[in-house]
Structure 1
Amino acid sequence: MFSDFLTILDDPANATAIRIVITLVVAVFTASFTYWITVTGRKISRERHTLQVMMEQDNNIEYRKALGVFHSVVRDGEMGLVGSGSENVSLLLEKQDAVRSVMNHWELLSISITKGVLDENLMIQFSGSQATRYWQRAYPFVEALRAATGHQRFYRNFEAYVSKLEKQHSKGRN
């Protein structure tokens, strides 16, 4: 059998054809391996960046302060944040700014997940239920903001992300 192969190689036309086939096989293997390395590298990079964002979120003092105000506004049932007229205007603005900061943070995370900058599976594991809960609690604020400004696009990426999470969650239950 090996002698038959050597006989085939004796013919220059066959030898050239075999060299071309071997070159093509090596090229396809190299391209496939390079593609796999690139995809794996991107995935690892995206996961590393996602972990970094999550750690920064936990350590961001300004975000933590805003989140504390957000929780107090939710607890006190003030998510409309319209003001009663008797409330201190600067306090009302402080509350609105805090809620906007939290919502802007989640809007940015939602855009980053949608665009593939952050790893969606890691974010879901880390804060999927948190995102849903924050959206549900902030929705009256978003409605009031949209109504007051006439802009229905405020926080639409966050809303779409939470909608996607809720659909995945409901599929998981069925």
Structure 2
Amino acid sequence: METVAAIWMFFKECLSTEWFKGFMVMTGVVVAITSVVSARTIARRKQTADLMFGTRSDEKLSDGYKCLARLHNAADSNMRALAREDKRNSDEANEVRYVLNHWERVFVGLRQGIYDEKMLREANYNTVLKTWAQAKPYIEAVREAEQRQTYYQCLEFYAKRWRKKPLEVLK
């Protein structure tokens, strides 16, 4: 019984020391920080999943992709012409802008920490690279016409960034 009492006294003395109190406070701080970071990560992934599922049913976005591909592949089409004043409000220009504005908003959200880049990249890698390649002449023409290099700069930044590091083949 004396052994149990001695152990209890030792334990009680340890609990009352300053270093133990400091250790417990630091442990609490670490747990709190870890919880906040984990909650942010989960929220970011949920936002990304909501975005991805929401865009699947966006008919205007789907039509915009089709228009962009059609214009890109047409032998008699000039993507740059859509940036001219007389074509700026055409249905084709509006459809192309819808796609580009969608991705620009997504990437602005990504830069602000709203979305998870890894999830977006794995799900949309080919779509983003293809969109950038097909729309680049139009984007350059818009920048020239408006004399601003900031149009669709986030789309350009992430397309180039993602191209530098292609997706790995799953094993």
TM-score interval, normalised by the smaller of the two chains: 0.7 to 0.9
Give the AA of the match of 1:80. R
* Stretches (4+) displaced over 6 A: 89-92
Shift of 1:153: 1.3
Question: Which has the larger helix fraction?
Answer: 1
**What pairs with 1:16-31 in structure 2 (closer than 5 Å)?**
18-31=16-29
Distance 1:95 1:8, change over 3 A: closer
Determine which of 65, 68, 82 is the counterpart of 2:66. Answer: 68
Shift of 1:168: 2.1
CA contact 1:113–1:119 (8 Å) conserved in 2: yes
Q: Which runs of 5+ in 2 are unaligned?
A: none
Match in the other structure for 1:129:
126
Q: Is structure 2 residue 114 aligned with structure 1 residue 117?
A: yes
In the alignment, structure 1 segments of 5+ residues that lack a partner are 10-14, 84-88
Checking the alignment, whether the CA contact within 8 Å between 1:81 and 1:92 is kept in structure 2 is no
Is this contact kept in 1: 2:80–2:138, CA < 8 A? Answer: yes
Are positions 1:151 and 2:163 aligned together?
Answer: no
TM-score, normalized by length of structure 1? 0.79
Q: Following TM superposition, by how much is the alpha carbon of 1:68 offset from its aligned partner in structure 2, in angstroms?
A: 2.3
The one of 46, 49, 56 equivalent to 1:48 is: 46
Number of the residue aligned with 1:39: 37
Q: Distance in 1 between matches of 2:61 and 2:103?
A: 11
Flag the 1:80–1:91 CA change in 2: closer, same or farther, 3 A: closer
- Alignment length (residue pairs): 162
- How far apart, CA to CA, are the structure 1 residues paired with 2:11 and 2:48? 56
C-alpha root-mean-square deviation of aligned residues, in Å?
2.9
8 Å CA contact retained: 1:131, 1:162: yes
TM-score of the aligned structures, taking structure 2 as reference length: 0.81
